[in-house]
Amino acid sequence: MGQLWESFIIAFKDVFANKTRSFLTMLGIIIGILSVSLMGTAISGINDTFENSMDMIGNDVLQVQRFPWFGGDDWWTYRNRPKMKEEYADKILQRSKNISFATTEMQNMGNIRYRDNSVQGVFIDAANWQLQHIKSFKLEDGRFYTKAEDRNASKVVVIGYGIKDNLFPNQNPIGEKIRIRGMKYKVIGTLKEQGKFLGLFSFDNMAIIPLKSAYPIFGRRRHMSVTLKVREGIDVSEAKEEVAMIMRSLRGLKPSEKDNFSINQQEAFREQFSAIKMGISGAGFGITALALLVGGIGIMNIMFVSVKERTKEIGIRKALGAKQNVILFQFLSEAVIIAVIGGMIGLIITTSLVGLLNKFFVASLSIQLVIISLSVSIITGVLSGIVPARKAAKLDPIDAIRYE
């Protein structure tokens, strides 16, 4: 153990005795670890954002619409489908054993004004009173509108956190009246901060109003969708099949006719996200593998040079009793030290870039990623250094001492 420790110290000193050469050798490893860590931070951040966004949709929520969220054969086919009707929600709720809440929804963009303050491009969601039980809205203050207010088309509104901050920075908005597309609505509730959906659309910049109260500002010809909540304990796919059968009956479709509606759910986003993540991972893996290959070859070349430069030193050490495994460990340690220091530099650069990335994108550096990056560095060092180290260990001491 004493000889092995001495070999490690010699290897460590030799790395720092040739700082410039060692740093240039590390560059490939630095780029490789930087690539894998940046890719990992991006994917980790996207994963976190995606899961938070999926919680906003709800994994037990179905949406019956004219268009599918993704894919599809012919846009014109979907465009010519019959529109959703307001009564579909009530009829599905009456006939279904697997649906607990249902609402018709209309959505549009608009401007909201309160006195001299205004918010542009607000997402306006019009639905019945059951929406509060379907989606994961959390109230910060006030309440949601009631069944009676919904039925009577009351001009009441629940506003998002961002709208409250912009229109009412220094006062409680409950009871105040705001203008949505020129019509007055009384604020009865505010939502807690929710963040952005997939890092893009902000749920904090939205307003929720009763469905019937939206007709004067949206019109009755606006596209509708039906949003459904699956009963607790019921398999979502089972509920989806039941809803499809009910919709076919409501639409009067014959057994030979195709569905003229789409039932969308969270799973569609998951499938698309998996494909995107695989693409990012594949590209990142290719760049990382290439950089580490170049870095590994660089370490191997330098180690061969190091063995040649120190041939006489190796011969003297072996003549004094150093065994093959001690010499092998010395040069293998040198290769691993170069690789690990390169990996640590790559991680330090990544850490400094994460804060910058978060201003434009989503990134998250986890301890698991740090461990993986350092492990990759060690493996690269071992694979790159094993051949030169074996060559050094097998040198004949007499020939090595005579080497000039």
Cα gap 42→221, rounded to integer Å: 42
pTM of the predicted model over 0.75: no
Selection from 112, 50, 52 nearest residue 275 by Cα:
50
Q: What is the pLDDT of residues 6-40, one digit of tens each?
A: 667 776 777 777 788 888 888 888 888 888 888 77
Going by pLDDT thresholds of 50, 70 and 90, the confidence category of residue 196 is: low
pLDDT in tens, 370-397: 888 888 888 988 998 899 888 888 887 7
Burial 319-328 (b: 16+ CB within 10 A, else e): eeebeeebbb
* pLDDT at residue 148 is higher than 90: yes
Tell how far CA 250 is from the center of its chain.
Answer: 39
Q: Alpha-carbon distance 105 to 96, whole Å?
A: 19
pLDDT digits (tens, 9 = 90+) for 284-294: 778 778 888 88
**pLDDT, tens digit, 9 for 90 and up, residues 111-126:** 899 988 888 888 899 9
Mean pLDDT for the chain?
84
